[in-house]
Amino acid sequence: MPEFILITGRTSKQGAALHKGKDSAEYRLATGFVSMNHEDREHLGVEAGRRVRVRTAFGETELELKEGKLPPGMIFVPMGPAANVLIGAETQGTGMPDSKGLKAEVEPL
Amino acid sequence: MLGIINGEVYDPRNGINGEVRDIWIEDGKIVSASAASPPELGGTEGGRDAAEIIDATGLVVMPGGVDIHSHIVGAKVNAGRKFRPEDHRDHVRSRTSLGPPFRGEVRGATRSGSGYTVPSTYMTGYLYAEMGYTTVMEAATAPLVARHTHEELEDTPILDKGVFITMGNNHFIMNCIRNGQREKARDYVAWLLEATKGYAIKIVNPGGVENWKWGRNVSELDDEVIGFGVTPRQIVTTLAWINDELGLPHVPHIHAINLGQSGNARTTVEMIEALEGRRAHFCHLQFLSYGGKPGKRLRSGAAEVARAVNEHPNITIDVGQIIFGPATTMTSDGPLQYRLHQLTGNKWLNDDVEGETGGGVVPMQYKRNNPFNAVQWLTGMELFLLIDDPWRVFLTTDHPNAGPFFYYPQVIKLLMDRDYRAEMLAGIHHRARKGALLAELDREYSLYEIAIITRAGTARALGLQNKGHLGVGADADVTIYAKLDDKEEMFARPRYVLKDGEVVVRDGRLVHERPGRTLYVTPPYDAGIEADLRTHFEECYTISFDNYPVAAEYLPHCEVVPCA
Amino acid sequence: MKIENVVCPFCGCLCDDIVVEVEDSRITAVKNACASGRSLFLNAHTQAVQPKVNGEEVDWPQAIDAAARILNDAASPLIYGLSSTASEAQRKAIALADLLGATIDSTSSVCHGPTTIGIQNQGEPTCTLGEVKHRADLLIFWGCNPAEAHQRHFSRYSALAKGKLTPNGRKDRTVVVVDVRPTASSRRADIFLQVRPGCDFEVLAALRALLKGQHLDVDEVGGVGVVQLQDLVERMKSCRFGVIFFGMGVTQTGGKHLNVAELLALVAELNAYTRFTTMPMRGHGNVAGADSTLTWQTGYPFAVNFARGYPQYNPGEFTAVDVLARGEADAALIIASDPVAHFPRQAAQRLSQIPTIVLDPEINLTAQVARVMLPTAIYGVSAAGTAYRMDNVPLPLKKVVESPRPTDEQVLDWMIERVKTCLA
């Protein structure tokens, strides 16, 4: 199964959708996807818009696949409930979980 | 009605030197202070029997302490707290609940806190009160962040406080000076003091802080401020003129140029002379009274500077006495703080503030056996002993720059007890000791003089009519000490401290918490200046003119001190 | 009614030039704000809502009573959030934590907490945003993406802003972006250095070495060519006034505070050549205020515990994620934040297992698992107060619309009084 480096973070859409309420369709759409670059997506053999399973050592979740301008081998998930499932609670004495740079697998569904 | 009876009273403002007096207090004010007791009270119900009495027989009674220069709140202090957890860990204060519940209410619980050289706000209020101080002036706030300072002041209980507003590197003022518009600068200063709810004009390294934004500094009174074509001399003299024009209760409060550098006694004296008789206060003068050649070994230049102070009755000073041990240096003097970072290798905070000022913070450790620190220590002592008029030299440690404020009792002992002083002198680095003038100075301060340099004189220099004395109409801020031979012990643990007539400290421990007031000034100005200011804000600031002034809601406990 | 100079409380930029139009206590138009700010004002809920306890609507005294009992009964309560409320409310929350002997932590711990630890090691050469606007001719954005997260940063304060020494705005500045991926920000930069994920520390260390004139006998460090790094060092040394803005790309990757300390050391060392400063890109509108209020009241900016009667500080021990993930917190008061939406699952789950109280204008994901929900006015929209910009400049928040809801500050005051009487 192809291995990726997972980065989570803010996006402008996620920021704007916050205020629509976290039950809103906008918020779910803004936070419920994973993106990777064109070549990685082709290699994975999944069309954009289809769902994939993303898995880390801490958890797994199903997300919509998008294409984005990312370096090879990197996937991005906006901060939000979906990303949380993939992140561990270990903070190495800092209070900060590893929210960026995690190893992740992506599996077509 | 509360009476403090039979105390040995030291009230220099009213010329009372250790005479036995009764002091009567009502509604937070002194209503009577005389040898004859009790005052006429009209009827037996309100009479002496009904009053609360503190028997001060054998005790020393003074007005509450008034600190003219201390860094206790605001952006720099808080940055210092934030980046120094190592300062706080072993210096903590637990929350307490004062007294039993009353009608279901827990009364007067005190807050916890932490910090040694940079204590948290509640702890600062408690520690000052427990040392017998009831009024403290925050020595420097950048106008842009004055709102922050006032938020912290509201969380600093018991003490009455004022804030000095840094203006020595202000773009609007420097532009006015360049364009020969000192009346406009005057109106701006008045507007700025009202907008920031400030108490006095503060000048820090005039021009040098602006030059630091180019990686430079000033070193002479006539050096040029980059981009403005003005000089430190012009900045200082213009602000001194403005101060007189506005009739501010305090005088311009000046941190001069070349702080901490060998040979700065010369530029300090030059700045005193540049004022040409206008009134001014020079703060933490110890750091500005060094002899020797620039860049070479540090020597005391206290004699030279003290002579100039003695010859210029328009000048008051505070010393900024070094306390051996940990300190946190924090000033608006950006280039100085960078230099301290390079000298010590200690961590460095810098904060340049748009169009106004700058600043920095660097931890410090003053050591007896460090020749540089030892010279600093004896320079401060010499200033205390060489300046003749106690009404013009005041006790500070420039907290926390030269040491924490709660070491004032140690400094008092050094001034009152020459044997103790000789013992300290013998323990400092031999190179500093060699040939030191201090060894020849055997002056000892009296209790009366201590009362001047810690309350009466500071209150007078600050223009606080109701502070620093125990005459009728004064705020009933009173400190009562046991009369002990060991003056450090005596001044560290007052038997009672009263704030606005209420006992807040008993036997050196806080027993009652109450809010203090923030003191500020509202000098008049020509409202026509607003149009210019709006343009200035659009060009120079990243916040709007309308969001700049600190609204009255930030000062729920306050008092406007009138201008002349 | 048109209200001018409104401060937008969304992000650490605290833009204070927003114009809000209000008709019949409803916001009808918002000018000057970015998409996130507009959305915040236009979607603001200000109508009356009853508090809830166990899903049932109750009146305010009942709700406060329930909350106070939960907190009093807990052995180890956690108070968390604070970054999207006014400093007046933050000060009350700290007072409550002190009274309870609770742990208190802000969202700082999961954004720039490592920055604070880095600063505690190394110091911080910084400035206000106006200095950047007027002086900076070299801007470096490291591991941050203002084009998406701080959308008006470029135009108001940095890349595009026209200042005194930068009258031509963008033309007078060199903009460098350092990130692990191309972003909306990197597309607007003059230079983009793409770092391999997790290699920020190595790249920063290489820059420090080059600054000291040391030779690196490798061709690239962390995915960036040494030639490019040398070029950047020359630009840094020769600029008039430089600044590095940095974000969670630095704080959330491996190394965390060590990355930040390395960055701060580089910036401090650059001051031997020219003026150089740095600033963390603070996310939430008043997260800088949370650091400030906690610091002035306790001495420490986050991760504070009062169990011994005095403040103790220890990130990793008293930080919210750790206290929850280890199962130590036995009750929680969440103020103006949504940890269930943003915490690792293991920590978030704990909040549904213990009695949780939520103080928030919105029924967010945490509110959905909470035992007590206290709906409050929105800071900067229907509640006034103070917020601290990312450069620690404090700004006054306006109440632009009336709301029948109490403010966070009022509710916390009620809770303090109730807890005191319970204690008595």
Which amino acid would we find at residue B133? Answer: Y
Over residues A60-99, the pLDDT tens digits come to: 999 999 999 999 999 999 999 999 999 999 999 999 999 8
**Residue C295 touches chain A, beta carbons under 8 Å:** no
pLDDT of residue C265: 98
Q: Give chain B's count of helices (H) and strands (E).
A: 19, 26
Do A94 and C319 lie within an 8 Å CB cutoff? yes
pLDDT of residue B49: 57
For residue B265, what are the CA distances in angstroms to A67, B69, B205, B261, C138? 69, 21, 14, 9, 39
pLDDT of residue B45: 44
Question: Which of the residue ranges B30-44, B80-94, B362-376, C335-349 would you say has the lowest mean pLDDT?
Answer: B30-44
- Antiparallel, parallel or unpaired: β C241-246 and C138-142: parallel
Taking all residues of chain A, what is their mean pLDDT, rounded to a whole number? 91
Kindly report the backbone phi and psi dihedral angles of residue B411, in degrees, each rounded to the nearest multiple of 5, phi listed first.
-65, -40
pLDDT of residue B319: 98
pLDDT of residue A93: 93
**Residue C363 touches chain A, beta carbons under 8 Å:** yes
- Per-residue pLDDT at B331 exceeds 60: yes
Do C36 and A100 lie within an 8 Å CB cutoff? no
The count of C-alpha atoms lying within 13 angstroms of the C-alpha of B350, restricted to the half-sphere facing its C-beta, is: 32
* Confidence band of B51 (pLDDT split at 50, 70, 90): confident
Q: Which residues of A touch C351 (CB under 8 A)?
A: none
Over residues C246-262, the pLDDT tens digits come to: 999 999 998 999 999 99
Kindly report the backbone phi and psi dihedral angles of residue B393, in degrees, each rounded to the nearest multiple of 5, phi listed first.
-130, 125
- Per-residue pLDDT at B44 exceeds 50: no
pLDDT of residue B103: 55
Angle at C128 between CA C380 and CA C183, to 5 degrees: 80
pLDDT of residue B36: 54
Are chains C and B touching, using the cut-off of 8 Å on CB pairs and a minimum of 3 such pairs? yes
- Please state the rounded mean pLDDT for residues B351-376: 98
- Please state the rounded mean pLDDT for residues C18-33: 96
Domains along chain A?
Answer: 3-108 (2.40.40.20)
- Per-residue pLDDT at B217 exceeds 90: yes
Do the beta carbons of residue B488 and residue B131 sit within 8 Å?
Answer: no
Chains with 3 or more CB pairs closer than 8 angstroms to A? C
**Residue A72 touches chain C, beta carbons under 8 Å:** no
- Per-residue pLDDT at A30 exceeds 60: yes
pLDDT of residue B43: 42
pLDDT of residue A6: 96
Question: Which of the residue ranges A74-83, B394-403, C86-95, C316-325 would you say has the lowest mean pLDDT?
Answer: A74-83
Residue C423: closest CA among B97, B518, B501, B208: B97
- Per-residue pLDDT at B131 exceeds 90: yes
pLDDT of residue C393: 98
Tell me which residues of chain C, numbers 2 to 41, contact chain B at a CB-CB cutoff of 8 Å: 4-5, 7, 16-17
pLDDT of residue C420: 87
CB burial readout B371-400, b (16+ within 10 A) else e: bbbbbbbbbbbbbbbbbeebbbbbbbbbbb
SS3 B367: coil
pLDDT of residue C20: 98
% of chain B with per-residue pLDDT over 90: 93
Which amino acid would we find at residue C220? Answer: E
Are chains A and B touching, using the cut-off of 8 Å on CB pairs and a minimum of 3 such pairs? no
Q: Which residues of C touch A8 (CB under 8 A)?
A: 252
Quickly count: other Cβ atoms within 10 Å of residue C2's Cβ: 9
CB burial readout B219-251, b (16+ within 10 A) else e: bebebebeebebbbbbbbbbbbbbbebbebbbb
Chains with 3 or more CB pairs closer than 8 angstroms to B? C
Of C197, C317, C338, the CB nearest to A101: C197
Over residues B467-507, the pLDDT tens digits come to: 999 999 999 999 999 999 999 999 999 999 999 999 999 99
**Residue A16 touches chain C, beta carbons under 8 Å:** yes
pLDDT of residue B104: 53
Do C321 and A95 lie within an 8 Å CB cutoff? yes
Do the beta carbons of residue B279 and residue B249 sit within 8 Å?
Answer: no
Domains along chain C?
Answer: 47-110+285-383+403-423 (3.40.50.740), 113-280 (3.40.228.10)
Reported in sequence order, the residue ranges of C119-203 that DSSP labels E, i.e. its strands, are 123-127, 138-142, 174-179, 191-194
* Confidence band of C421 (pLDDT split at 50, 70, 90): confident
Output the six-digit token pair for C85.
């409320």
Q: How far is CA B527 from its chain centroid?
A: 31
pLDDT of residue B98: 64
Reported in sequence order, the residue ranges of C101-222 that DSSP labels E, i.e. its strands, are 103-106, 123-127, 138-142, 174-179, 191-194, 220-221
Question: Which of the residue ranges A12-26, A32-46, B284-298, C393-407 would you say has the lowest mean pLDDT?
Answer: A12-26
% of chain B with per-residue pLDDT over 70: 95
- Please state the rounded mean pLDDT for residues B373-383: 98
* Confidence band of B262 (pLDDT split at 50, 70, 90): very high
pLDDT of residue B46: 46
Q: Is the peptide bond before B409 cis (omega within 30 degrees of 0)?
A: no
pLDDT of residue B411: 98
Do A101 and C365 lie within an 8 Å CB cutoff? no
* C257-270 vs C113-122: helix crossing angle, rounded to 10: 50
Taking all residues of chain C, what is their mean pLDDT, rounded to a whole number? 97
CA of C88 to nearest chain A CA: how many angstroms apart? 23
Domains along chain B?
Answer: 1-91+464-515 (2.30.40.10)
Which amino acid would we find at residue C286? Answer: N
Do the beta carbons of residue C312 and residue C97 sit within 8 Å?
Answer: no
Q: Which residues of A touch C150 (CB under 8 A)?
A: none
